[in-house]
Amino acid sequence: MAGQIPLVDYLVLDDGEPHLIAQECAGCGARFFDRRNACAGCFATDFKSVPVATEGTVRTFTIVTFAAPGIPTPFVASVVDCDGTQVRANLINVEPDPEHVRDGMKVRLATYPIGTDSAGTEAVGFGFEPAT
């Protein structure tokens, strides 16, 4: 096993439990998942990396049944409110139908393997699953 690599660099796998990190504006606390020269809200230029809460509630969702080639369907796309930080993610480990997914449901971060490359490295993605 040659180890793991996260799907995106804001998913942290090697520092305790898997979690997301955001770039937080030192001026107003706005959070971004990629680099900014200045905060879109207050134009301050200092940021620090902060962990994002791993539990949250579903703010909105859709069940995508028709997508671009190569994307497995159906899947549940959503925005999860993680203690005030809005996170775009799929809902996983849940039946992708309107009877099993609802706005406001409690969810928690979960990871899953995406595939293994020729060097044996496993890519790991994330989603949110029902927190029961």
Partner 1 sequence: MSASDEIWILGIRMTKFGKHPDLDTVDLAAEAATGALSDAGLTMSDIGALAAGNLMAANAGIGQQLQKQIGQTGIPVYNVANACATGATALRTAIMAVKAGEVDYAMAVGVEKLSGAGLLGAGGRKRAEADVWAPAGRYGAVAPIDGRIGTEAMPGVFAQIGTEYGHKYGGTSFELFAKISEKNHAHSTLNPLAAYQKRFTLEQIMTDVMIAYPNTRAMCSANCDGAAAAVVCNGETLKSLSLEQRRRAVKVSASVLTTDPYEPGCQVLPNVNTLTRNAAATAYEQAGVGPSDLDLVELHDCFATAELVHYDNLMLCEEGGAADFFNSGATWRDGSTPVNVSGGLQSKGHPIAATGIANIWEICHHLRGEAGDRQIQNAKLGLAHVIGLGSACGVHILEKSAA
- Give me the residues that bind partner 1 (CB under 8 A), please: 5-10, 30-35, 40-41, 59-72, 75, 77-79, 84, 86-90, 98, 103-104, 114-115, 117-119, 121, 123, 125-126
Closest by CA position to 80, among listed 97, 58, 61: 58
| C-alpha to C-alpha distance for 87 and 15, rounded to whole angstroms | 20
| C-alpha to C-alpha distance for 101 and 123, rounded to whole angstroms | 27
Query: What are residue 101's phi and psi, to 5 degrees?
Result: -120, 135
Number of C-beta neighbours around residue 64 at 10 A: 15
